[in-house]
Amino acid sequence: MNSIILKSTNKVSALVRFTLGAALLTGSLMSNVYAETDQKNLHADWTELLEQNISPINKGHSTAVDYAAFKNQESALQAYLDKLGEVSRADFDTWSKEKQLAFLINAYNAWTVEFILTKYPDLESIKDLGSLFSSPWDKEFIPLLGKTVSLNDIEHGLIRGSKRYNDPRIHFAVNCASIGCPALREEAYTGSKLEQQLEQQTERFLTDSSRNYIKGNSIYLSSIFKWYSEDFEAGFRGTKSIQSFIGLYADALKLDEKQLTTLQKQDFSVKFLDYNWKLNASK
């Protein structure tokens, strides 16, 4: 009799453990689903604005921004920016790295558009928002994570300076409102899609033969690679140089076997092209 009772008790205990385990797993999965849904909801307005006001140009390698249309929808843009400003540092710190990075890239891009609108259409470049002694990127006007920060604080402090993300592909995602910049993506970045989005942005930029190409024994690249060379030499996917990073995307540059071998041997002379700071406006 005792044996029967013991077996029954063990079965009940096992059932309880299984049920609890399943509940915990389901709770964890649902928590991840809710977290991603929350982020999609957070950035949904930004995606809608981008879809309405961004158009592909240069065979899809770049995008042009309809700032006049953005101006007419500035209240919607401001509402989105207010949502970003409501995120506390404590909440931000609980997020995954992907979710954090997506948030920061979106914040940089959306606040850059808003910055342009403060003077649009009476400017030809984002540089017009600065002065002889003051960089526009150093202006502290952005309420974010409990502080008032600048665009430089977001890019060089929160994204690059933290050393938490260590991903040079962010340079093809943040947009400085200039023709020389990589495309302002037609959708918001989100944690669940970030890897795919960063890869697409990188390939999109590198396939632009007007800004990155090989001629003779030289490889001509956007000045982005010069300004942020340390990021491309920091070991991303094992790469320790600009040329080895470029080698990851040999197909994007349509390199033949000889060119790829030369690139792998670091035998190309790297030259940097002038950057076009003219506003990336569609009109």
Q: What is the pLDDT of residue 39?
A: 67
Q: What is the pLDDT of residue 177?
A: 98
Contact 66, 282 (CB under 8 A): yes
Number of domains in the chain: 1
Helix (H, G, I), strand (E, B) or coil at 63: strand
Examine residue 194 and state whether it is found in any structural domain, yes or no: yes
Examine residue 274 and state whether it is found in any structural domain, yes or no: no
Contact 280, 57 (CB under 8 A): no
- Crossing angle of helices 97-117 and 194-206, rounded to 10°: 50
Examine residue 113 and state whether it is found in any structural domain, yes or no: yes
> Which regions of the chain are under pLDDT 50?
2, 4-7, 12, 16, 18-20, 22-25, 28-34
pLDDT per position as a tens digit, 192-250: 999 999 999 999 999 999 999 999 999 999 999 999 999 999 999 999 999 999 999 99
Q: What is the pLDDT of residue 25?
A: 46
pLDDT per position as a tens digit, 138-160: 999 999 999 999 999 999 999 99
Q: How far apart are CA 233 and CA 252, in angstroms?
A: 20
Domain that holds residue 90: 41-209
Examine residue 36 and state whether it is found in any structural domain, yes or no: no
Helix (H, G, I), strand (E, B) or coil at 142: strand
Q: What is the pLDDT of residue 194?
A: 98
Examine residue 136 and state whether it is found in any structural domain, yes or no: yes
Examine residue 65 and state whether it is found in any structural domain, yes or no: yes
Cα separations (Å) of 235 from 79, 166, 199, 227? 39, 9, 17, 17
Separation of first and last alpha carbons in the chain: 88
Examine residue 196 and state whether it is found in any structural domain, yes or no: yes
Examine residue 92 and state whether it is found in any structural domain, yes or no: yes
